[in-house]
Amino acid sequence: MPEEIKGLGTVKQYKGAFALEPQGHIVGGKLRAGKPHSDKIVRSIEQAIEASGLKDGMTISFHHHFRNGDYVLNMVLEAIAKKGIKGLTLAPSSLNDSDTLIRMIEMGVVTAIETSGARGKLGRVITSGKLSKPMIVRSHGGRARAIECGDLHIDVAFIGAPCCDKYGNINGVNGKSACGTMGYAMVDAAAADCVVAVTDNLVEHPIFPISIPMTQVDYIVEVDAIGDPKGIASGALRISRDPRELQIAEYASRVIEYSGYFNQGYSVQLGSGGASLAAAKFIKDKMLAKKITASFGVGGVTAPFVNMLEEGLLDMIYDVQDFDIPSIDSVRKNANHIEMSASYYANPHNCGAVVNNLDVVILSATEVDVDFNVNVITDSNGVIMGASGGHSDTAAGANLAIVVAPLLRGRLPMVLDQVNTIVTPGETVDVVVTERGVAVNPKRKDLIDNLKEAKLPLMEIEELQKIAYDLAGKPESVPMSDDIVGVVEYRDGSIIDVIRRPL
Amino acid sequence: MEKMRRTMMFVPGNNPGMLQNAGIYGADTIIFDVEDAVSIGEKDSARHLVAEAIRTINYPCEVAVRINHISTPYGYKDLEVILPSHPDLIRLPMAQSADEIKEIDGIITAAEEKYGFEPGSIKMMAAIETPKGLFNAQAIAEASPRMVAIAIGAEDFIANLKTTRSKDGSELVVARGHLVLAARAAGVQVIDTVFSDVNDEEGFIAEVKRIKQLGFDGKSVINPRQIGIVHDIFMPTEKEIEFSKRVLAAFKEALAKNSGVISLDGKMIDKPIVDRAERVLAYAEAAGAR
Amino acid sequence: MNVLNRPGQCGTMESNDLMVQVAPAEQGSGIAITLVSPMIKQYGKQIEAVVKATLQEMGVADALVQVTDKGALDCTIRARVRVAAERAMQKEAN
């Protein structure tokens, strides 16, 4: 890993999951004086951009609560491009695929990106090095840290607001484009120099609940639609029928059961992947059998989690983002389903975020290596196609971090000598669960002992790799250029790995 | 201790993804199917996929192949291509007479010799799917020392009976009972037919309990989700486990004393009881491991 | 020496499978393989080696081979290539 990176200067090297102590104070947005009886509503996005004072070279942000049903990012970028503004840094909480954004990069409207990840064609474009400096990849907690300490300074935050009153109070649970909680947006609103609410549901004051208060909102613009409801929230996701995923889920839930953490009042976070959702059902059955309940659950929330809350198996849910309609309904009507900001969720540089109190988390992976390092951002060809998300945050905070994945994806082994990109360091990963074997980090002698009775196919991680290589053959390594197109910033602001352009 | 065959999972032979993953679900035996699961146009593909998979992949369980019947254009070719890969067991569908078994036994013997396999290492089983086959079941089971099990194939059998399949299985009572008797008389295992409604868990559980009570050694399954259920039901009770431990202790004591008589609680214990005790403990241990 | 008489095809586009099409080629031209695979960087060489070895084992020295791979293991490649070639060796259409 180089000490100096073109486009970023000298970088802090990763020295350990908890090595870096922060200095200084929390930083905030410009002071503004809202005048009595003033009108925040502007007539168009163009007007909002003008009013915000957006200039070349500034940094703009968006949330990704609308997932692949988001209209706001594209609308705002088009308007910015029309005004001839260029050289912007785009810092959304995450990105999906976007033809508009690709055009903006090619036109030079956006020349730098700082986010959790990117998918599809956009991921391929970024991997090919079209930005003027490396993309900075941050976890959800890391982004909150960066915003709060000033590492990431947001000039203008454009916030898609499912429900917004004429004073600028915002929530995400009401309206045709409801998305549930607004955990990522809350951080931006508190620290940006200018906040523009973009809504398709402008209502009279007062609204309840309030996720983002009017005291943080400068301008409001009403449009026809801020998102596609079908893309924002799925109907309840069906539990996987894939026998391989079910096998992985069963092993993962048995790891939890025998780990020593499966007791009355434990806390749990499940991912949103197929194996995680299936594991929810097995874990629920085991909780009922053992007659225990969990003190809290954390997510990224989906219907199986909400179901556990409603059946009294979870006392409460801390929610940073919702994925489906049952989850959004639950936020709206259940007092024990609580919205939290990304900072409350996972910022390592405050007095203690929720992830610090987690007992168990199940995470996915694109690749794992024999040192238990995990990749979630690039595929086996080194192309950006995933997101850092809360992966490294929850792994660092939780007592038991379980990574689930199939041993082979197609023909590609998932357990390697070295992952293409380290997002989550092996020192924070406790167990790797595949359908052919379960490997425990050798540092966790306590877990190894506890799991002896679990009747699991326990083995060294090297053995797991050997099974994969015996089946598929050893893969040849993908040739990489020296050009660095992305850096992975660990949650504390140090750089843990770089993403190079594949040849 | 004979090999446990609580679950025998069918895997379509023309599906490479399923072939390579077949061993991860914990079935006692996997049956690669080149018969009913494979269309006529793909019979050649399937037998080669199966042969190559068996040859290359290290499966953790017994690997069986259901070949096409030798009266079809495919059966002999299946044996020719698949035997060299050294499967553990060949399953003949639609078995009707002892002669069929003897003929296939001969083919296997020749292959074992030709390829240097341990003689007798490739076993056989036969599926009874017709009334004629049912009446010959004992002879079929005794037709070769390779024969380790007979099974019932309900779909074809019921069609042959000219009736339909019902929830409580009354139409199969006689066939099942007869097959168990034949198997015990011949000294082989007996395996029940598949339950094809994967979503009817209740119905499946009821059927497995019923056939276990009848004396079946195991059940054919078509989906990994069914495996755990069968193993749970075949799991002996605490009482049975305790009793079996005591039986074996008494047996060891008799051996140590060089006595020909094994006694427990004032009663004499015959060899079948000792065998059953061994079986119970093996099932208990395996069920714990899934 | 075994000669291909017609084009022969075997396989599917399902995950973990591959589609193999073999066709006769001029004597002495060797085995020419066109490979499409999402794992071409990691396994391209290996896939081509297995295809070639299987055909050579069958005594086929000249062939045009199109392979569309969807993550097949070596054992699957061997089986599909073998059957594609066998089908290509048939004198009449099947």
Chain C interface test: which of B50, B55, B56 (most C C-beta within 10 Å): B56
Q: Are C72 and B53 a contacting pair at CB < 8 A?
A: no
Token digits of residue A452: 């002896």
Question: What gap in Å lies between CA B125 and CA B11, rounded to an integer?
Answer: 17
Dump pLDDT digits (tens) for A99-135.
999 999 999 999 999 999 999 999 999 999 999 999 9
Question: What gap in Å lies between CA A290 and CA A285, rounded to an integer?
Answer: 9
First-to-last alpha carbon distance for chain A, in angstroms, is 19
Is the pLDDT confidence value at A383 over 60? Answer: yes
Average pLDDT estimate for A43-51:
97
Q: What is the amino acid identity at position B127?
A: A
Using a pLDDT cut of 70, give the percent of chain B over it: 99
**CATH: 3.30.230.10, 1.20.1630.10, 3.40.50.150, 3.40.50.300. Which one for C8-89?**
3.30.230.10
Dump pLDDT digits (tens) for B41-74.
999 999 999 999 999 999 999 999 999 999 999 9
**CATH: 3.40.1080.10, 3.30.70.100, 3.40.50.261, 3.40.109.10. Which one for A243-476?**
3.40.1080.10
Chain A interface test: which of B7, B15, B21 (most A C-beta within 10 Å): B21
Q: Are A246 and B225 a contacting pair at CB < 8 A?
A: yes
Of B20, B45, B57, the CB nearest to C10: B45
Dump pLDDT digits (tens) for A272-288.
888 888 999 999 999 99
Average pLDDT estimate for A469-477:
95
Q: Give B290's pLDDT tier (boundaries 50, 70, 90).
A: very low
Nearest to A169 by CA among A179, A156, A182: A182
Question: What gap in Å lies between CA A64 and CA A94, rounded to an integer?
Answer: 6
**Phi, psi (degrees; rounded to nearest 5) at A6:** -60, 125
pTM: 0.93
Using a pLDDT cut of 70, give the percent of chain C over it: 97
Q: Are A473 and C41 a contacting pair at CB < 8 A?
A: no
Distance to chain C for B82, nearest Cα, Å: 12
Dump pLDDT digits (tens) for B243-277.
999 999 998 888 888 887 888 888 888 888 888 89
Q: In chain B, whose CA is at the least distance from the CA of A457?
A: B289
Q: How many helices (H) and strands (E) does chain B have?
A: 12, 10
* Fold exhibited by the domain A38-230: Glutaconate Coenzyme A-transferase (3.40.1080)
pLDDT, residue B282, reads 86
Contact A314, A297 (CB under 8 A): yes
Question: What gap in Å lies between CA A300 and CA A313, rounded to an integer?
Answer: 18
Using a pLDDT cut of 90, give the percent of chain C over it: 91
Distance to chain C for B262, nearest Cα, Å: 53
Nearest to B217 by CA among B173, B269, B179: B179
Q: Is the peptide bond before A206 cis (omega within 30 degrees of 0)?
A: yes
pLDDT, residue B288, reads 64
Residue ranges, comma separated, of all CATH 3.40.1080.10 domains in chain A are 38-230, 243-476
Contact A478, A380 (CB under 8 A): yes
Dump pLDDT digits (tens) for B209-250.
999 999 999 999 999 999 999 999 999 888 999 999 999 999
With residue A445 as reference, give the H or E element that holds it.
Answer: helix A445-450
Per domain, the residue ranges of chain C are 8-89
Contact A158, A90 (CB under 8 A): no
Question: What gap in Å lies between CA A238 and CA A274, rounded to an integer?
Answer: 9
